[in-house]
Structure 1
Amino acid sequence: MRLPDSFLDDLRNRLSLSAVVGRKVTWDMKKTNQAKGDWWAPCPFHQEKSASFHVDDRKGFYYCFGCQAKGNVFGFVQESENVGFMEAVEILAAEAGMEMPARDPKAAEKADLRTRLAEVTETAVKWFRLQLSTQAAAEARAYLDRRGLAKATLDRFEIGFAPGTADGLIRALEGKGIAWDLIEGAGLGVAEDDGRRRDRFINRIIFPIRDARGRCIGFGGRAMNPNSPAKYLNSPETALFDKGANLYNLRDARAAVGKGQPLVVAEGYMDVIALAQAGFEAAVAPLGTAVTERQLQMLWRVSPEPLIALDGDAAGQRAGLRVADLALPLIEAGQSLRFAILPEGQDPDDLIRAEGAPAMRRILDAAKPMLTLLWTREIEGKDFDSPERRAMLDRALRAVVRRIKDPSLRRHYGEEIARLRAELFGLSPGQTVVFDAPPPPAPPPSGRDFVPNPAYRRDRKNWKGGRALPAQPQTATRASALASGAMTPEILLEQVVLAGLVRHPTLIAEFTDALEAETWSRDMHGAIAQALLTLDPEAVPEEAGETLEARIGPETLETLLAQRHVRISPVMRGDGGGARQCIRDALKRLGAQRGADRERREAMEDFEEGADEAMTWRLAQAGKRKSAALRSREEERVGDGETSFADYYDSLLATPAGKTKREK
């Protein structure tokens, strides 16, 4: 079966090579330049310790300087999974959420049709280019000259002209033996109701549109007649041209980003051309439509933080907010947007012609983070002089934060919004509202300072290769953040999960998603989780322990494993199988409890605006689900079969500070 080129191209656009390779390697972040798409790691195809395996995310190729392995994303899956090409495509398609093309002859016919349509558009590019030098294009040349476009720029962007004749292009193409159905299929000809055929582009300056592979897939036309109903006209959707899945100048912009230039997203063709001519070569634009989700993903494949250049008028601001709202659920660490706001009434082309490239550079250097744009929308022109208005602001801000899917980023947004809100209302840090974050732990009770258990030092021999650390003074000042504050059920469960993975590092690979996605109650828990994610999955326990000590400190590790509720937990005894089930059960309970707590918080927020029977019912149901999450019984048994996981957790969560009923 021959797969359509468009399908393979779409698959490449949706999945970055670094993301696919990243599942098999541990990146050397000292050598990696993520912003340039330049990734390094030890080769997954041969045993080595140095980072000689190189991934070029811009070009979509990998190469190992040790074993000379090389290829693209499909070749990597073939080699790493030991599968054929079609199986590799199926694996990647499933990951990208794409359906495989139907296995029938029609797929090959469609691929062949796109190839023939591309040949038609290339012929049209040459014809339009020739027309720009004719007498009929004198006015168009004068217009381009007034816009300050040099001949080298016209040649680089292949700018052409469609004369005022009704069917000049059709006659030229048919004269070369090209059939009408291909002319119409390429979006270059229109059949009228009366049977006549005319060119789609008449008396317009023509901008060829090329995809990431360099094929001409369509055209944009700028009307020379000021009374034309459409100032700009694009090719229609065709088998070759998908407006929402392409960007103007993407191929050249990607190359410029690879040389260190920032990726700039402008509104239209002339903005991109003016930016490129002024030295900002990494400029792109959507194709006559608002930016789409697919286009955002394409932008992030080229640069982790594109700059959106907004026209300095109300329409430009609205367009920027639409992009921000679209991007909000998609952003994550290393994948966001910044917004460069131009002076009122100017677009990039206007600014460059009026004040030159330095003025544009200042605007780009002053680009604002996405949160600034969203914050300004919520407060600009509004007065918050009453509790009701402040509550409305809080509700709007919470709605913004909740749309962010990445837990870590959502927490940072919540913290920054709380800071901005405090500044707006003149509040002290202690009076700020926390947005989408767990409540701060209560201060530690008097006399409950943690002192590490001496037995822990002896137990460390189990995973430190028989070498115990020298004894250190055991004072209350050595108690870390792990042992301070109120031990809530969430904190207890989180510490059991982390301790289990410390004792059984071979299980980390199975719980990578949970470690990355979990919203940790304490910053120290998050630091331990990040350290666990950096461990070599093949490391023996003693090597893993030494690595963790180097990254988070021996005292932090000691404090975690010496907690009473950790020492008596099933993860500290038995084999990896028992620990695996214990960790899985703890994560399940965490998820269930947090889901119930979240629903309760949301119901309470709505409750503040007015209680009713439905609201009361929601609160009751949330309470029942939380109770069930904490008290559910499991069939699995621990180690010798004497104590079930549920028995341990019920005992753990039913008593303060992790004391079991027997110990209490």
Structure 2
Amino acid sequence: MSLPPGFLDELRTRASLSQVVGRKVMWDARKSNQGKGDMWAPCPFHQEKSASFHVDDRKGFYYCFGCHAKGDAISFVRETENVSFMEAVEILAREAGMPMPERDPRAQEKSDLRTELSEVMELAVRWFRLQLKTGAAEAARNYLIGRGLDDEALERWEIGFAPDSWQGLWDALKGKGIADDLILGAGLAKPSTKGGKPYDTFRGRIMYPIRDARGRAIAFGGRAMDPEDKAKYLNSPETALFDKGRSLYNVKDARTAAGKGQPLVVAEGYMDVIALVQGGFGAAVAPLGTAITENQLQMLWRIAPEPIITLDGDTAGQRAALRLIDLALPLLEAGQSLRFAMMPDGQDPDDLIRSAGAGALQKLLDAAQPMVQLLWQRETEGRVFDSPERKAGLDKALREKIKLIKDPSIRSHYGQEIKDLRWQLFRSKGSGSRQTGAKWVPGAKFKGAPEGPSAGAKSSVLATSPDARATDHLREAVILAACICCPEVVEDFENGLESMACTDTQHAVLRDLILRHAAQGPEVLRQNIMSALGGGALENLLGQSHVAITPCVRSPGNAEITAMTVTEELAKLEAVRGLADEIADAAEDLSGVADEGVTWRLSEAARASDRAHRSGQEDKAEYDLGDNGARIKRDERSALDALLDQITFAKPKGRAEKDS
């Protein structure tokens, strides 16, 4: 069976050699460098104890320094599984999620055509380079000199010039005996719509050759010299050689540089890549005038596990970065992500290097943000979250994005990171609650204290009453203990917990720890509490008598009971503190002209407080009086009587007669 053009190249791009080989060997952790795709192990093809078998994951080749076995992923599967070439291809395609193509009877014919087209493209590269040295290219040469490119750079990048003539390249290629269909098939000319001779695709443009990972010239990018030209940059049309969404500028040399440890930097255009390489950043690539595609993203990850996206600091560049996030989220794997280095406003990498030097760009690369930071920035920048509804909208939007991540471990880490960022945003600004909360840094002991109740609450009679504060303290303890024993309910009560003004510092810290770490499970939550407050704090909280007897503490993990408890206690706290605030406001109002509105507000607040308290105190049980005058619940007494009857009837006959 013959395979269609490009199938094996894409298969080798998608199939990670280290993953394929990793099923058969144990990697030597001391010699291997997974981040660089440089892996070592004892050879699977001959018996040895030393790690002489080397896998270069970026280049996709293995070599054993002992038995000299070498090859790629296909040959490795063939040798280790004892299968044919096509069977090995089918195995790898299945693992990579690529459907095997139907039999193509013209595959060899197409392969020969690609070879011929590649030869035509090389002729075009040479012709364009010669044209750059002519008098017609003076303006182009001046432009390139102004961009900092000397003769050596022009030679290195094979930059040429397409003169502003209709059939310049066409006539040159025809003079070498190249067939019409090959010139047209390479995308170098277009057929005339008026029945005349075909005309050149590129005219009056500086020409940048585009080569594939094997170094073959497959296309051109042309920059217009005429400022009035509608298309500043023009790429070759798609051909049997060139698929724009599966190609990257400078991919071959970037792969080599990345293999030597240089960071893979993704820029936006040809001149950006050239400037980066000239500045010492050899592993630089660029998509070809479009947003990065899924295939290009897979190519980038094949070269390096964490490419740095350097996008222009203008609005278009930022929009491109944000679109890339949505593309990348479902494709994330452990150790495989993106980082983003945003350029200064109005500058691209070329501008920055020329104005401030390579060191300035290096600082931006060193400070590149992980993708989760950019996701957060996209959803929060320029927005105000001063209401529960807006906060809920943010939570919903972020949850929907995190759901796109297929890997459960990465999804969990993203969720926790988002929680931390949410915490920093809302708690640092107070987010409309009565206090900003205690200042706490993960992994450190608690330092600082909550801001405390509002001024109105401080001045109220209820707030200053020792009994009122003691009652609030007891309710807070129950709420906190319930959340610690069953942290899975915390998500439903985040807004209530955030706005809960705690009566002391320790309760404030506990509340903050619960909000930060509940999603990670009870064990992680308890570890963070003990780390911040010491082991005794949790034990003391759960050991308090009024806490220990609550059903949610006696039956930890019961979400239904816990949710009922937290709902009731939060409602009571809110009602009491609402009444305290109304009393404080009323005291201020009474200092002026009193009216019936004050009385009505106080009565409504008192009624709400009374309802909240009675909701948990209403007892619908029926009671009987015992012989000693104590009240006994009728259903409990009936159950006791039934038990005593069972005991009586269950006595052995002889024993019963003796007792009588």
TM-score of the two chains, using structure 2 as the length reference? 0.65
Alpha-carbon distance between aligned partners in 2 of 1:232 and 1:177, rounded to the nearest angstrom: 30
Per-residue CA deviations over 1:324-363 (Å, capped at 9, x if unaligned) read: 1111111122100000111100001111111111111111
The verdict on how the C-alpha distance between 1:339 and 1:486 changes in structure 2, with shifts beyond 3 A counting, is closer
Letter paired with 2:183: I
* Counterparts of residues 372-391 of structure 1 (less than 5 Å): 372-391=373-392
* Residue correspondences, number: 445
Q: Corresponding residue for 2:369? A: 368
> Is residue 315 from structure 1 mapped to residue 279 from structure 2 by the alignment?
no
Q: Computing the radius of gyration over CA atoms, which structure comes out larger, 1 or 2?
A: 2
Written as runs of structure 1 = structure 2, the 5 A alignment for 1:275-294 is 275-294=276-295
Q: Note closer, same or farther for the CA distance 1:180–1:327 as it changes in structure 2 (3 Å cut).
A: same
Is the Cα–Cα contact under 8 Å of residues 170 and 200 in structure 2 kept in the other structure?
yes
User: How much has 1:51 moved relative to structure 2?
Assistant: 2.4
The 3-state SS of whatever aligns with 1:62 is strand
Aligned CA distance change for structure 1 residues 76 and 223 (closer, same or farther; 3 Å): same
Q: Any idea what SS the aligned residue of 2:206 has?
A: strand
* Counterpart position of 1:219: 220
In the other structure, the counterpart of 1:341 is 342
- CA deviations 1:31-60 (Å, max 9, x no partner) are 211122101122222344432221011222
1:26 CA drift (Å): 2.5
Counterparts in 2 of 1:413 and 1:269: CA distance versus 1, 3 Å: same
In the other structure, the counterpart of 1:145 is 145
Extract structure 1 runs of 4+ deviating beyond 6 A.
Answer: 429-432, 484-488, 519-524
Deviations 1:391-431 (A, max 9, x none): 10111111122111111111111111111111111166999
1:626-641 counterparts in 2 under 5 A?
A: none
Evaluate the alpha carbon distance shift between residue 139 and residue 389 of structure 1 in structure 2; reply closer, same or farther with a 3 A threshold: same
Asked if the contact 1:422/1:429 (under 8 Å) is kept, the reply is no
What is the 5 A alignment of 1:154-169?
A: 154-169=154-169
1:542-597: CA deviation from partner (whole Å, max 9, x where unpaired): xxxxxxxxxxxxxxxxxxxxxxxxxxxxxxxxxxxxxxxxxxxxxxxxxxxxxxx9
Find the aligned partners of 1:252 and 1:73 in 2 and give their Cα distance. Answer: 22
Q: Which has the higher mean CA deviation after the structures are superposed, 369-378 or 14-23?
A: 14-23
Unaligned stretches of 5+ residues in structure 1: 433-483, 489-518, 525-596, 602-664
State the SS of the aligned residue for 2:241. Answer: coil
Structure 1 counterpart of 2:314, one-letter code: D
Tell me, yes or no, if the aligned pair for 2:266 and 2:309 is still in contact at 8 Å.
Answer: yes
Give the 3-state SS of the residue equivalent to 1:312 in structure 2. Answer: coil
What is the deviation of 1:288?
1.5
Residue 438 of structure 1 is matched in structure 2 by none
Q: 1:300 to 1:318 in 2, by over 3 A?
A: same
Larger deviation, residues 51-60 vs 235-244: 51-60
Q: Distance in 1 between matches of 2:304 and 2:9?
A: 18
Task: Give secondary structure in 2 for the equivalent of 1:344.
Answer: coil
Partner of 1:182: 182
Q: For 1:369-410, what per-residue CA distance to the aligned partner results, in whole angstroms no more than 9, with x for missing partners?
A: 111111111111111111111110111111122111111111
Matched, 1:262 2:263: yes
The alpha-carbon distance between structure 1 residues 429 and 18, as it changes in their structure 2 partners (threshold 3 A), is: farther
For the residues of structure 1 that align with 2:308 and 2:387, how far apart are their CA atoms? 37
My pick for the range that moved more, 101-110 or 200-209, is 101-110
Q: Give CA-to-partner distance per residue, 1:504-532, whole Å, 9 cap, x none.
A: xxxxxxxxxxxxxxx997889xxxxxxxx
Name the structure 1 match of 2:13.
13
8 A contact 2:37–2:58 mirrored in 1: yes
Q: Offset of 1:4 from its aligned partner?
A: 4.7
Distance of aligned partners of 1:37 and 1:225 in 2 relative to their CA distance in 1, 3 Å threshold: same
> What is the Cα deviation at residue 486 of structure 1?
8.1
8 Å contact kept, 2:5–2:107: no
User: Residue 124 of structure 1 contacts residue 169 of structure 1 at CA under 8 Å; is this kept in 2?
Assistant: yes
Q: Distance in 2 between matches of 1:152 and 1:222?
A: 20
Decide whether the 8 Å contact of 1:159 with 1:206 is kept in 2. Answer: yes
Match of 2:6, SS state, is helix
Q: Residues of 2 paired with 1:78 and 1:487: CA distance?
A: 51
Q: Is the 8 A contact 1:162 1:202 kept in 2?
A: yes
Deviations 1:6-29 (A, max 9, x none): 221111111121121122222223
Alpha-carbon separation, structure 2, partners of 1:391 and 1:487 = 19
- Aligned twin of 2:92: 92
Partner Cα separation in structure 1 for residue 522 and residue 90 of structure 2? 40
Q: CA deviation at 1:132?
A: 0.5
Alignment match, 2:201:
200
Partners in 2 of 1:104 and 1:63 — Cα distance? 33
In structure 1, what is the Cα distance between the partners aligned to 2:485 and 2:379? 36
Q: Which moved more, 1:59-68 or 1:76-85?
A: 59-68
Return the alpha-carbon distance in structure 1 between the equivalents of residues 268 and 486 of structure 2.
Answer: 53
Quote the residue 1:417 is aligned against. 418
2:302 equivalent to 1:304: no
Counterpart in 1 of 2:62? 62
Q: What is the identity, as a one-letter code, of the residue corresponding to 1:297? A: Q
Matching residue of 2:232: 231
2:92 corresponds to which letter in structure 1?
L
For 1:98 and 1:409, locate their aligned partners in 2 and report how far apart those are by CA, in whole Å. Answer: 24
* Distance in 2 between residues matched to 1:351 and 1:88, nearest whole Å: 48
Alignment deviations for residues 456-504 of structure 1 (CA, whole Å, 9 cap, x no partner): xxxxxxxxxxxxxxxxxxxxxxxxxxxx97899xxxxxxxxxxxxxxxx
Q: Tell me, in whole angstroms, the C-alpha distance in 2 between the residues paired with 1:354 and 1:277.
A: 14
Match of 1:248 in 2: 249
The alpha-carbon distance between structure 1 residues 385 and 521, as it changes in their structure 2 partners (threshold 3 A), is closer
Structure 2: how far apart are the matches of 1:520 and 1:30? 32
**Contact 2:403/2:411 (8 A) holds in 1:** yes
What TM-score, normalized by structure 1, do the two folds share? 0.64
Aligned residues with identical type, % of pairs:
67
Alignment of 1:26-105 (within 5 A): 26-105=26-105
Report the AA paired with residue 169 of structure 1. Answer: L
Which letter does structure 1 place at the counterpart of 2:20?
Answer: V
Question: What is aligned with 1:111?
Answer: 111
Residues 422 and 428, structure 1, Cα contact 8 Å, conserved in 2: no
- Counterpart of 1:399 in structure 2: which amino acid? E
| Conserved 8 A contact 1:422-1:431 | no
Query: What is the CA distance between 1:5 and its match in structure 2?
Result: 5.3
CA shift digits 1:238-294 (9 cap, x unpaired): 111000111000000111111211100000111101111111111100011110011
Distance 2:11 2:36 in 1: 21
**Paired residues for 1:494-573 under 5 Å:** none
Amino acid at match of 1:115: T
1:65 Cα deviation (Å)?
2.7
1:405 aligns with 2:406: yes
